[in-house]
Amino acid sequence: MPFSARAVRPAAGVLLALSLSACSPIVDVDAAPDAANPRCAEVMISLPNQVAGYELRETNSQATAAWGDPSQVVLRCGVEIPGPTTDACASVNDVDWVIRESPDTDVWTAVTYGRNPAVEVLFDPNQVPSSTVLVDLSVPVTRIEQTEQCLSLSDTVDLTDEG
138 by DSSP, 3-state: which? helix
| Pairing assessment for the beta strands 26-27 and 50-51 based on DSSP bridges | unpaired
Q: How far from 13 is each of 38, 94, 121, CA to CA, in Å? A: 26, 28, 15
Distance between CA atoms of residues 30 and 17, nearest Å: 6
Q: Where are the domains of the chain?
A: 6-148
B/e letters for 147-159, b = 16+ CB within 10 Å, e = fewer, are eeebeeeeeeeee
CA distance 43 to 141: 6
The per-residue pLDDT for 161 is: 55
Considering the entire predicted model, what is its pTM? Answer: 0.80
| DSSP annotation of 115 | B
- Is residue 35 within 8 A of residue 63, CB to CB? The reply is yes
Q: What is the pLDDT along the chain (163 residues), one digit of tens a residue?
A: 444 333 333 322 222 333 333 454 899 999 999 999 999 999 999 999 999 999 999 999 999 999 999 999 999 999 999 999 899 999 999 999 999 998 889 999 999 999 999 999 999 999 999 989 999 999 999 999 999 998 765 454 454 555 4
CA distance linking residue 22 with residue 42, whole number of Å: 30
